[in-house]
Every structure is written in C-alpha cells, then in structure tokens.
Structure 1
C-alpha cells in the first residue's frame, strides 16, 4: 500500500497545457466538457438501465441496440474526459459530482414500458445534441479547433443513435396489440 498521499491537481483548477491554449480559454472549454461528460454519463446510465430491463416482442433488437448505444456513450465520455485532461483540467469523475454538473436529469429508478423509456432517452439525447452544438461553437470561437472536432465526432454518433430511437418510436410496427 502506498504511504504517499499527494493531490496532483485540485478539481476545478486548470494548469498550463502543452497544447498552447491560453488557460482562461481552457477553463471555459473544460467547464463545457465537464458538463458534456456529466450529461453523457447520465444518459449512459439511463440507456443501460433500459438495456437491462427491456421486454416484449422486440426485446432482442432493442436490447442489442441499447447495448450498442451505451457503448457509444461510454466511448464519447472517454474522448471528452481525455480532452479535458489534455487541456490541463480534471475530468469530472464521481457520480454525485456528475449529477450535480449535468444539465439533464436521470429518469430515476422506476421501470417504465419501453416506449416511455425510449421517449425519455430521446428527450435527453435532444438536450445533449443542443448542448454539444453550443460547445462546438464555443470551442471554435476560442480557437480550440481540435476540441470542436472531437465534439463534432461525438455529435455525429449521438445524432445517429437519437435517430434510431426516433425510428423505434415510429407508429409503424409489425407487433400487434
């Protein structure tokens, strides 16, 4: 067991970075990235909950899709966190802190029918899409084109998964009531 205990960086502080982005600009971008990270984790946990609890005639397809969507969210979280760290910041990591920093809300522990669950997911996807677009613009305006590009790539996958959810919610189905 290590006997040395030393805080390397306090959460909320931003250090100089090798990317040569001004600390004041980095602070703004890191704040935005930490909100994005918190939002993605809220949706990740919600989608994962739906993946575990989906039932019905379309179980298999939805179970697989929701598992893949959760993987996409986890990959996005990793990209966002690594960028915040590269900019000299500390990615928000704890579930309590993530819930506090998120601009979206987790639906709670209750289990809903799959249509209601997907409607909740689609609402959160939409909020994240809007926020990500704003943060792309913020990063680009501050001259951080790499962060803007990373967020664009996250946005493409987020929009694609939201579009799939939208298709699952369409009225046309082979399943009879």
Structure 2
C-alpha cells in the first residue's frame, strides 16, 4: 500500500475561511448532481424508443452535452477559491441528490417528465448555492450560477413543451 502525502491545495482567494469551506462543499454536491443528471439524460437518450424517437433522441443528446459542459467550470471554480472537488464515481454516488433511474424500460413521456423534474431540482439547488455565494460576496460563482440557471430553465421549458402532447401528438 502506498502512503499518500496530503498536499496543500489551498488556492489564493480573499473570500475568507468560511467561504473557502462552504462554497466548494456546495459546488461539490452540485457537481455530483450535474454528473447524475448528465448520465440519466444520456441513459434516456440511448434507450428512448417509439414514435418520436428521432426528436427525443436528438433533444436529449443536446441537453446532455449542455449539462456535461457545466462540469469542468464547476470543478475549477471550487479549486480557484481554495477548495477541492470530486475525486471518484463513488464520491458522486455519495453526494448526489438527483436519483438514478436503472429501470430496464421507461416510457418516453415518463423520461421527459422525470428529466424535467430533475432539472427543476437542479435549479433549486443552484439557487440555494447562489444564496450562499451572495452571503459570502462570491460574485464570480454567483454569476456562473445565474447562467447555468438560465440554461437549466431552458431545458425545463423544452422538456415541458416536448412532453405536452395534444391532438396531433
């Protein structure tokens, strides 16, 4: 067994010790949720079937790419302000709040509804982290969150409209 030495990963920031502790912790949990949502979106992208296969398949692939694009910025923001970030799939599993879906089959309409609900949960979590950032005067993280909230609300809107149904669906 190799003995690991603990490196000082504290980054240069003027946010203060409490912010250096609390904001990266909130970002780690958020990152776990983003990875969970990404994998679920890809899962549904891979397994969608039925009448609207092509439209749903492409929509979910586009949304998964957008979700994955958040991951590096979240992790690097935690590091920039002196914290650490996720280190393993196991840590993601321990910290994620968005539930997995391991079902063999999910109806396409249920996929859209579940992803809409998960994106709404992600929005709530991002708003909570934004409030924490406001409390500590961390305007840079708050600014990133504002953009991600807007992107997430757009995904929610698209999932809602796509899943609405009607006389011609």
Same fold per TM (> 0.5)? yes
Deviation track 1:88-111 (CA, whole Å, cap 9, x = no partner) reads: 111113122111111221122432
TM-score (norm 1): 0.87
- Give the number of the structure whose residues are more often helix, by fraction: 2
CA RMSD of the aligned region, Å? 1.9
Offset of residue 174 of structure 1: 2.8
Match of 2:7 in 1: 8
Deviation track 1:117-161 (CA, whole Å, cap 9, x = no partner) reads: 111111111111111111111101111010000111111111111
Cα distance in 2 for partners of 1:129, 1:152 equals 10
Match of 2:42 in 1: 48
Match of 1:116 in 2: 110
Q: Does 1:132 find its partner at 2:131?
A: no
Match of 1:160 in 2: 154
Contact 2:44 2:60 in 1 (8 A): yes
Q: Which runs of 5+ in 2 are unaligned?
A: none
Distance 1:173 1:58, change over 3 A: farther
Q: How many residues are aligned here? A: 168
Deviation track 1:37-69 (CA, whole Å, cap 9, x = no partner) reads: 001111101000011111122111111110110
Q: Does 1:100 find its partner at 2:99?
A: no
Offset of residue 18 of structure 1: 2.1
Cα distance in 1 for partners of 2:22, 2:68 equals 23
Q: Does 1:82 find its partner at 2:76?
A: yes
SS at match of 1:64: helix
Q: Which runs of 5+ in 1 are unaligned?
A: none
Contact 1:35 1:102 in 2 (8 A): yes
